[in-house]
Amino acid sequence: MKLENINIAYGRQTVVRDINWTLVPGTCWTILGANASGKSALAQVLSGALKPVSGQILQSPEKVLWVSLESQQALYEDELYRDESDLINEVDEGRTVRQLLEEISPWDSDHEHACKALNLDHLLDRGYRRLSSGEGRRTLLARALLEKPDLLILDEPFEGLDQTNYAHLHEALNTLADAGQWLVLVVNQTAHIIEKCQHIALLDEGKLVYQGERPADLEAVWRHLDNHRESLPELPPRSAEFQLPAWPDDRALIRIENGFVQYGDDYQFRDFSWQLLPGEHSRIHGPNGCGKSTLLGLITGDHPQCYRNTMQVLGFQRGSGESIWEIKKHIGYVSGSLHRDYRASASALTVVISGLTDSIGVYTAVGEKEKALAMAWLDILDLTDRAHTPFRSLSMGQQQLLLIARALIKQPPLIILDEPTEGLDDFNRFYVLKLVEKLIAAGDSTLLLVSHRGDEILTCIQHTLEFRACATEKVRFEIVKT
């Protein structure tokens, strides 16, 4: 497969230029690049999903599959379209993992092998809409393997996976590469390059700055691309509008008594009693699908079972007639589900401003003060030149940065970050974590952080809520505070 003088554009903007590159069948390549370097655009052209504006591709393989965050979003939106909950008067969980795999081909030993390799056996009868982000990603990968493509392109395949499933996928991809599967892996972190992949294509600002065997000094070359500021900028002033009135240090921001989430006769967890005091910054940890995001949904009011639980959030008793907006006003929140659901037509600036209204999109008049505040956060994340760019036309990493700015713009009393660095390159990942630490140190915000990564323990974190497999019948997990 030979790319000659390829140029790629989104609209009027050229995102990849002057690509000359040859890929030999049976080899494994890694496309490595920072956020917005053009990796996904190049992957789309390789797959045939996007046509270059100039240049030519010779000897394209017959069957190419591209698995990405974008394709996961497309499947999620298809499941939303199929949702018949209102018609059947019960929760429609969507097609099961088994059904999604059997759509590719009738069940056989290949299905069993793919499920074992990607740790899907225990999820086969679960509806897709009940899957976590990491579980959904593994389902897409299994579907791709069953289609037996000539060339398989995996765009950020490790995002959203816990350590166990990361290891499963890492081993599976090494096995595929060793068996001669033609692979292109697209990653934004050097840690995600598998051992059996010895060919690197390094993209920087749309240009292929290196191609060939993995260089011995790859880490040094990679670090050289870091263009972040040497020091963190000053944070904008904190607005009193979003702060709580005088709040004693011994009064819980969140209190849960015998909390539970139940599906049919089974419990995701139960008998969970916990409180979060001001300044008691905490991490929530556990495997894919254990219920981390579900617990956060109870707190934010986005999970329907929050009203079945005895909970107090920011002084409001759930189910006592409180307005959900009264609570959300004091919370900054980012999550994979918010990213999936942010499908409104909005510019980058509008997305950040929507953090002030706790909405998806902005539907009220916005003053110059709010615009200036949002622009200040765009400047902090080096996205001022993207202010009027449509949200969905940005790279997935840039979209994630905007949702982080949306969560932080209020500098609220409670900040909930659910896998905030998913989709970010090494440089943006550590920059964002330092930014969060600076915000926490500068004010009165309390942090709840969900992260799978062992290197994302912030110095401010004092406690961990650990989800562990439960031996009690019909209860999947218990939550232990450490």
- For the residues 8-18, what does the mean pLDDT come to? 90
Residues 30 and 116: beta-carbon distance below 8 Å: no
- For the residues 137-156, what does the mean pLDDT come to? 94
Q: pLDDT tens digit string along 65-75?
A: 999 888 888 88
Full-model pTM: 0.89
* Length, in residues, of the chain: 482
* Tally of CA atoms within 13 A in the half-sphere of 213 that contains its CB: 1
Residues 290 and 452: beta-carbon distance below 8 Å: no
Question: Is residue 465 predicted with pLDDT exceeding 90?
Answer: yes
pLDDT of residue 157: 92
pLDDT of residue 320: 78
Q: What tokens were used for 433? A: 């974590």
Q: pLDDT tens digit string along 246-256?
A: 899 999 999 99
In DSSP terms, 447 is beta-bridged to 415
Q: Residue 86: pLDDT band by 50, 70, 90 thresholds?
A: low
Determine the Cα–Cα distance for residues 321 and 167; give it in Å rounded to an integer.
46
If one compares 42 and 79, the residue with the highest pLDDT of the two is 42
* Tally of CA atoms within 13 A in the half-sphere of 53 that contains its CB: 13
- For the residues 78-105, what does the mean pLDDT come to? 82
Question: Is residue 84 predicted with pLDDT exceeding 80?
Answer: no
Q: pLDDT tens digit string along 353-392?
A: 999 999 998 888 889 999 999 999 999 999 999 999 999 8
Q: Chain-wide mean pLDDT for the chain?
A: 91
Minimal CA–CA distance to 227: which of 419, 409, 37?
Answer: 37
Q: Which residue has the tokens 């902005």?
A: 362
Q: pLDDT tens digit string along 422-458?
A: 989 989 998 999 999 999 998 789 999 998 887 777 8
DSSP string, 290-355: SSHHHHHHHHHT-SGGGGGSEEEETTEETTSS--HHHHHTTEEEE-HHHHHH--S--BHHHHHHHH
pLDDT of residue 229: 67
Q: Residue 223: pLDDT band by 50, 70, 90 thresholds?
A: confident
> Please, what is the end-to-end C-alpha distance for the chain in angstroms?
53
Residues 6 or more apart whose CB falls under 8 angstroms from that of 154 comprise 67, 68, 141, 144, 173, 183, 184, 185, 186
- For the residues 30-58, what does the mean pLDDT come to? 94
Determine the Cα–Cα distance for residues 117 and 418; give it in Å rounded to an integer.
27
pLDDT of residue 393: 87
* Domains of the chain, earliest start first: 2-223 (3.40.50.300), 240-344+394-481 (3.40.50.300)
DSSP string, 416-463: EEESTTTT--HHHHHHHHHHHHHHHHHSS-EEEEE---TT---TT--E
- For the residues 36-47, what does the mean pLDDT come to? 93
- % of the chain surpassing 90 pLDDT: 68
pLDDT of residue 80: 82
Q: pLDDT tens digit string along 171-199?
A: 999 999 999 999 999 999 998 999 999 99
Q: Residue 313: pLDDT band by 50, 70, 90 thresholds?
A: very high
